[in-house]
Structures are given as C-alpha cells and as structure tokens.
C-alpha cells in the first residue's frame, strides 16, 4: 500500500471563520464566500510544512504504540516534500522551504529524545454544536497526548523566529486556544491538564520550547457567546454583495503587526481597474 499523507489543513467550520467575521466582515466575505485567493506568505508556508512533518512524526509513533503499521504513513521528511509538491503551483515558496524545514524537524527530534508521551490523537477534528442555535463549531487539534501521570494535553505546534514570553502570551486570549480548553474539558473531564504550546524556532540556531498556556477562565466562560456573535454577523450579511459587507477601517486590523491586510488594496481602490 502506498504510504498516505495526513490532512493537516483547516477544520470544517473553525475559529478562523469566526475570527474573520468579527475582525472584518468584508474580509470574511472575500475569503469565506467568494473564495478569493491571496498571495501566500513565507511564515504560513513554513508553518504548514512544519505541521505536516510533526503530524507524521507523531502519527507514526501512535501506530507503534497501538500495534499499527507506521509505514501506512509517509515518513516526516517525505510528508514535508509531498505537501510542498502538492502546493508547488501556488508559489515557489513551498519547494524552496523544504530543506530548512526538514533540518528543523531533525533538530526537533534530537532535542526531544526520550519524550514519553502516549499519543492519543493526531490532527483530530473536534466537533460541537454550540449556543441556543446549536451552531456547528470545529477545531483541528495538532496533537493530543497523555503524559506519564495520564494527564491529557492538547498540543499546538507553533513555528516562530524568536521564542520569548511575548510570543507565548499572545495565545492566551486567542479563540483557537480558548476553544481547545472548551473541547478538552468536555471530552477528557478531570483528566484534561490544559493546552501545551510546542514552539519551534525555525531560524538557525534552531530552538525549542514547550509550555502550558496560562488559563483564561473569563474568556472561556464567554467563548460560546463570541461564537454566537460571529454567526449573527455572518447571517446578517449573507446573500448580499461583498461590497455591502462592512469594512473594519481600523488601523490595527487593516495594518497589523505583520503588515498590511491581504485585502488592503482592495479596500483602498476596489476590484475594478
């Protein structure tokens, strides 16, 4: 049997959808309804390639731990190359990034030799119906493991070019991580220990850091209402032309820490020549 490539992409109806609707309704319409494709960035390519490599690393470990066949799945370095080839027509960034990501993966494995996790799930799509209207909400967990005390952790892989407390704290009030807490508590009850951020510095010298994310109980209590608000915004404008969906026109949204929003020029000049 030909070894398989895991699906490490977005879940069916996840946080990115709600985040875009709250951040900027018009950006949501362009991305989620029109399916407008914007140029992909190097950090996104690198992060996607690292994720697929680590997904295959842990999937093969899971097979060994559960009596399966690791060779049902591509080896991590093969998976990295396979995903790059799959997306090569989109951008030259994909194939160009392969050597660096493979090197970072090997450094990761060497750094965490002796790791004693029991792998429960890899790239698992978590699903729930939330709020009064029972809105479908999904998230794809990179990795779910049990430690030596049988405490269950949801692990999220993050690539970065520096590892410091600031880059960690930005995740505390991120809906993606609040959602992990909601799913973890519901599914694993008293065995759930929390969310572990598994950070990999991709520039040489490579560096690695794993830390439990600090809790945000107030945000967790109100998380479902945030989902409901996002769904209300979508329902309000759904079916209308994109030009009628409101813009954010906020300097933190339109030009944030990573530079201009993908739709910056569309909002400035429109889509007409």
Does residue 56 carry a pLDDT above 50? yes
141 falls within a domain: yes
Range of the domain at 99: 15-269
Q: Is residue 9 part of a domain?
A: no
Q: Average pLDDT of 85-95?
A: 96
Q: Where are the alpha helices (DSSP H) in the chain?
A: 15-23, 25-28, 42-66, 76-86, 93-111, 165-169, 175-188, 217-221, 223-237, 251-254, 264-269
pLDDT tier, 67 (very low <50, low <70, confident <90, very high otherwise): very high
Contacts of 100 (CB under 8 A, 6+ apart): 46, 202
Residue 40 carries which DSSP code? P
> How many structural domains are present in the chain?
1
**CATH number of the structural domain spanning residue 241:** 3.90.320.10
Between residues 234 and 164, which one has the greater pLDDT?
A: 234
Residue 7: inside a domain:
no
> Does residue 8 form part of some domain?
no
pLDDT value, residue 165 = 74
* Mean pLDDT confidence for 60-88: 97
In this model, does residue 214 exceed pLDDT 60?
yes
The predicted pLDDT at position 164 comes to: 79
Give domain status of residue 4, yes or no: no
In a domain, 6, yes or no: no
Is 105 inside a domain boundary?
A: yes
Task: Assess if residue 146 is contained within a domain.
Answer: yes
In this model, does residue 272 exceed pLDDT 70? no
């Amino acid at each position: 049997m030909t070894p398989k490539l895991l699906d490490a992409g977005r879940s069916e109806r996840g946080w990115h959808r709600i985040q875009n609707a709250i951040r900027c309704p018009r950006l949501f319409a362009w991305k989620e309804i029109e399916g407008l494709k914007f140029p992909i960035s190097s950090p996104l390519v690198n992060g996607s390639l690292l994720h697929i490599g680590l997904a295959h690393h842990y999937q093969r470990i899971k097979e060994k731990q559960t009596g399966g066949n690791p060779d049902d799945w591509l080896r991590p370095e093969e998976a990295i190359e396979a995903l790059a080839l799959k997306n090569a027509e989109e951008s030259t960034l994909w194939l160009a990034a392969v050597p660096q990501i493979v090197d970072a993966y090997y450094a990761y494995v060497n750094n965490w030799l002796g790791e004693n996790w029991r792998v429960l799930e890899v790239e698992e799509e978590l699903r729930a119906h939330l709020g009064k209207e029972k809105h479908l909400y999904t998230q794809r967990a990179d990795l779910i493991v049990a430690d030596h005390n049988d405490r269950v952790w949801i692990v999220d892989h993050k690539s970065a070019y520096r590892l410091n407390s600031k880059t960690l704290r930005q995740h505390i009030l991120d809906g993606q991580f609040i959602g992990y807490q909601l799913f973890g508590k519901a599914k694993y009850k008293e065995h759930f220990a929390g969310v572990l951020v598994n950070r990999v510095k991709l520039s040489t010298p490579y560096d690695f850091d794993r830390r439990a994310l600090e809790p945000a109980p107030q945000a967790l209590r109100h998380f479902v209402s945030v989902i409901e608000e996002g769904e209300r915004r979508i329902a309000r404008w759904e079916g209308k032309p994109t030009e009628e969906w409101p813009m954010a026109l906020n300097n933190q949204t339109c030009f944030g820490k990573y530079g201009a929003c993908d739709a910056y020029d569309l909002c400035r000049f429109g889509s007409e020549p």
